[in-house]
Amino acid sequence: MTDKNQYIAGLIGKYLDDSLDANEEKALEAWINAADSNRALFTEMTSPEQLTRHLQQYYAYNSARISARISEQIPAFRETVTPARTLSPLRKWGWAAAAAVLLLAGGTYYRYAYRQPATFVAAAPAIIEPGKQGAILTLSDGRQVVLDSLNNGVVAKQSGASIVMADGQLVYDPTVAGTAAMQYNKMTTPKGRQFRVTLPDGTNVWLNAASSLRYPTSFTGNERRVEVTGEAYFDVVKNAGKPFIVQVKDKADIEVLGTSFNINAYENEQAIRTTLLNGGVRVGVPSTDYKKAVVLTPGQQAQIAGQQITVAVNQPTDKILAWKNGLFNFDGADLEEVMRQLERWYDIEVIYENGIPHTRFIGELSRQIALTDLLDILKRTEVDFRVEGRKLIVLNK
């Protein structure tokens, strides 16, 4: 990113906020008049109709980040100056509007400035809604309870705990000492659902879509062991005398005493990824010498592929936890990664009609956006789509 690029990004934001001084107005005029592509980009970014439409689509919560991103997309500032025209500022939209347009330009309109507008294939009229809170609880006796719309109250009683629905999450209240044999429950989130559960020891677990968590109804013995598939975020209650262990089938064991971390263990991902937010965890492969396990510090990520464990440092935790915070974060993501997220959240099947286009994305969006609106945004890249029922067909332009 150059200082001049960032300066122009700031000027556009001030223009939208009607706060340019005389010198800044001249500088912006110079950039606009330096090239037709600059003028086209500026026109698109400051259209009131475009602002209104895209403000409804984008979840722009960090204006500083967004401002930096557009500056990377603006062509290098040209010193050539042609006679200026008089700017006619919009009414005051405020920085929120500027931030939304800056995100839009950083991810999409940069391409518009250098390409002819594409002809898009119209999407099917049916609206595919985003996912929501919900899960299926399987009790120890095999009974299943759909949790999507349950009111507050006791759901069931299992050995050692009452299972209570409280404000949209499931809570295990260990009010009765466990005396019977250990019993297990299983929480499953289908595609298009995510859910939160508080385990008997007070540990909180958030399950992403298409995931599961198997756990005892009371933690007895000298450890707390659970099993997970898919993706989950753990906020573990500290208990030095009873370590908390997360097992991913026979592929990984994550041992903690008290910490917050995220596990991504979907079958269609290339590796099992454990990212530590705070505290400390030890990650190992059960079938190997456990002494070879790695110990993570905050910001590190253990990646398990087969029997191999590698550690990546300085991980973008805001991107990794975006799902938990109600966001898609596509920073640096290729098309396949984006489509895997959409498959799980919108409960769709993605089909590549003519191979997989090599496209990367930036930016964040709310996970509450309808699929058709999200596709309208993605279509401004090198990819087009066709929707047939719950099938999303990816096309090359």
Could you tell me the CA-to-CA distances from 255 to 212, 223, 292 in Å, in that order?
A: 18, 10, 14
Tokens of 283: 């990650």
Task: Indicate where the chain has its CATH 3.55.50.30 domain(s).
Answer: 326-396
Block residue for tokens 């299972």: 163
Tokens of 32: 């606009």
* Per-residue pLDDT, 259: 93
Q: Which overall architecture, per CATH, does domain 132-319 show?
A: Sandwich (2.60)
Enumerate the CATH 2.60.120.1440 domain ranges in the chain, comma separated: 132-319
Return phi, psi of residue 225, to 5°. Answer: -115, 130
Report how far apart the first and last C-alpha atoms of the chain are (Å, whole number). 29
Per the CB < 8 A criterion, the answer to whether 368 and 106 are in contact is no
| Predicted pLDDT of residue 267 | 93
Provide the CATH topology of domain 326-396.
Answer: Phage tail protein beta-alpha-beta fold (3.55.50)
| 3-state secondary structure (DSSP) of residue 355 | strand
What token pair was written down for 318? 């805001």
How many Cβ atoms from other residues are within 10 Å of residue 164's Cβ? 18
| Start-end of H helices in 2-157 | 3-16, 22-34, 36-45, 48-55, 63-73, 95-104, 110-112
Positions of the chain with pLDDT lower than 70, given as ranges: 1-6, 17, 44-45, 47-126, 160, 175-180, 287-291, 397
Q: Show Cβ contacts of residue 53 under 8 Å, excluding neighbours closer than 6 positions.
A: none
Please give the pLDDT value at position 38.
Answer: 77
- Cα 256 to its chain centre, rounded Å, is 25
Q: Supply the pLDDT for residue 116.
A: 33
d(CA 358, CA 302): 27
Partners of 172 in beta bridges: 163
How far is it, in rounded angstroms, from Cα 236 to Cα 258?
A: 5
Asked if 377 and 108 count as a contact pair (C-beta separation under 8 A), the reply is yes
